[in-house]
Structure 1
Amino acid sequence: MFKKRPLISAVVSAIALSSTPSLAAGFQLNSQSATGLGRAFAGDAVIADNASVAARNPAAMALFKEANFSLGFNVIATDVKVKSGTYHQPKVIASPSGEILAIESNSYDISGTDDIGGSSLVPNLHLVMPINDQWAWGLSAYSNFGTTTEFEDDFAASIFGGKTSVKSMNLGASLSYRLNEHFSVGAGLDIIYGVGELSRDFDAAVCPAVMGSPLFCTELKQNVLDVDASGTALGWNAGLVYEVNENHRFGLSYRYSPTVEAKGDVMGGLQTASSMDLPLPDIAEFSGYHRLTEKFAAHYSLQWVEWSAFDTLYIGGIEKEYKWKDAGHISVGGTYYLNNDWTLRAGYMYDVAATDDLKSISIPDSDRQWFSAGFSYHLSQKESIDFGFTYLVGQDVTFDEKLSPELEAPSITGATTRADAILVGLQYSRSF
Structure 2
Amino acid sequence: MKYTKLATAIAVGMVSTYASAAGFQLLEQNVSGLGNAYAGSAAVADNASTIFFNPAGMTQLKDREFSGGLAVIAPSFKFSDNGSSVGRLAGTGNGGDAGQTGYVPNAYMSWAINKDLYVGAGFSAPFGLKTEYSSPWLGAAQAVSFDVKTYNFNPSVAYRVNDMVSVGAGVSWQRLEAVYKRVVGVGVAGVPGAATAVFPASPLTASISGESTGWNAGVLFNVSPETKVGASYRSTVNYNLTGDITVTGPSSVLNTAGTSGAKASLTLPDTFIVSGTRQLSKQWEILGDVAYTGWSSIPKLDLVRSSGVIAQTLDTDFRDTWRVAVGANYRYSDAMVLKFGFALDQTPVKGASTRLVSLPDNDRTQISTGAQWKLANGSTLDLGLSYLFIDRASIDNNQSSATQAANRGRVTGSYDGSAWIVGAQYSVPF
Task: Classify the TM-score, shorter chain.
Answer: 0.7 to 0.9
Deviation readout 1:322-347 (Å, 9 max, x if unpaired): 41100131100011122121111110
Cα drift, residue 149 of structure 1: 0.9
Distance 1:290 1:425 in 2: 25
Matched residue of 1:55: which SS?
A: helix
Distance 1:399 1:119 in 2: 23
Q: 1:310 aligns with which of 293, 298, 302?
A: 298
Equivalent residue, structure 2, for 1:347: 341
After the TM superposition, which residues 256-335 of structure 1 pair with which residues of structure 2 at under 5 Å, given as runs?
256-266=235-245, 270=258, 272-315=260-303, 316=305, 317=308, 318=310, 320=313, 321-335=315-329
Q: Which residue identity does 1:350 align to in structure 2?
A: L
Matched residue of 2:51: which SS?
A: helix
- What is the number of residues matched between the two proteins? 383
Distance 1:345 1:166 in 2: 31
Distance 1:406 1:345 in 2: 56
Equivalent residue, structure 2, for 1:230: 209
Does residue 1:72 correspond to 2:76, yes or no? no
Deviation readout 1:59-82 (Å, 9 max, x if unpaired): 111222432211111011111110
Q: Is the 8 A contact 1:85 1:412 kept in 2?
A: no
Q: State the TM-score, normalizing by the size of structure 1.
A: 0.82
Q: 76-85 or 383-392, which moves further after superposition?
A: 76-85
Equivalent residue, structure 2, for 1:371: 367
Does residue 1:398 correspond to 2:394, yes or no? yes
Q: Which residue identity does 2:321 align to in structure 1?
A: A
Q: Which residue identity does 1:341 align to in structure 2?
A: A
Equivalent residue, structure 2, for 1:427: 425
Q: 313-322 or 251-260, which moves further after superposition?
A: 313-322
Cα drift, residue 129 of structure 1: 1.3
CA 311–149 in structure 1, closer or farther in 2 if over 3 Å, else same? same
Deviation readout 1:313-372 (Å, 9 max, x if unpaired): 221242735411001311000111221211111101111001104112222110011111
Distance 2:186 2:78 in 1: 24
Matched residue of 1:395: which SS?
A: strand
Greater strand share, 1 or 2?
1
Does residue 1:182 correspond to 2:178, yes or no? no
Q: Which residue identity does 1:417 align to in structure 2?
A: Y
Distance 2:120 2:44 in 1: 16
Q: 413-422 or 162-171, which moves further after superposition?
A: 413-422
Does residue 1:359 correspond to 2:338, yes or no? no
Distance 2:403 2:278 in 1: 56
Q: 1:146 aligns with which of 120, 128, 142?
A: 128
Matched residue of 1:48: which SS?
A: coil
Distance 1:372 1:307 in 2: 25
Cα drift, residue 399 of structure 1: 2.5
After the TM superposition, which residues 61-140 of structure 1 pair with which residues of structure 2 at under 5 Å, given as runs?
61-91=58-88, 110-111=93-94, 113-140=95-122
Matched residue of 1:62: which SS?
A: helix
Equivalent residue, structure 1, for 2:201: 221
Matched residue of 1:54: which SS?
A: helix
Does residue 1:35 correspond to 2:39, yes or no? no
Q: 165-174 or 353-362, which moves further after superposition?
A: 353-362
Q: Is the 8 A contact 1:139 1:174 kept in 2?
A: yes
Equivalent residue, structure 2, for 1:95: none
Equivalent residue, structure 2, for 1:388: 384
CA 29–178 in structure 1, closer or farther in 2 if over 3 Å, else same? same
Q: Which residue identity does 2:344 align to in structure 1?
A: Y
Distance 1:190 1:374 in 2: 29
Larger Rg: 1 or 2?
A: 1
Unaligned stretches of 5+ residues in structure 1:
1-21, 92-104, 206-216
CA 63–264 in structure 1, closer or farther in 2 if over 3 Å, else same? same
Unaligned stretches of 5+ residues in structure 2:
1-18, 188-196, 248-256
Q: 403-412 or 196-205, which moves further after superposition?
A: 403-412
Q: State the TM-score, normalizing by the size of structure 2.
A: 0.83
Q: 413-422 or 327-336, which moves further after superposition?
A: 413-422
Equivalent residue, structure 2, for 1:336: 330
CA 81–125 in structure 1, closer or farther in 2 if over 3 Å, else same? same
Q: Which residue identity does 1:418 align to in structure 2?
A: D
Distance 2:226 2:62 in 1: 16
Matched residue of 1:34: which SS?
A: coil
Distance 2:150 2:322 in 1: 19
Deviation readout 1:43-101 (Å, 9 max, x if unpaired): 0111011111111111111222432211111011111110233332325xxxxxxxxxx
Distance 1:89 1:404 in 2: 8
Matched residue of 1:290: which SS?
A: strand
Q: Is the 8 A contact 1:68 1:127 kept in 2?
A: yes
Q: 318-327 or 372-381, which moves further after superposition?
A: 318-327
Distance 1:59 1:169 in 2: 22
Equivalent residue, structure 2, for 1:102: none
Does residue 1:253 correspond to 2:252, yes or no? no
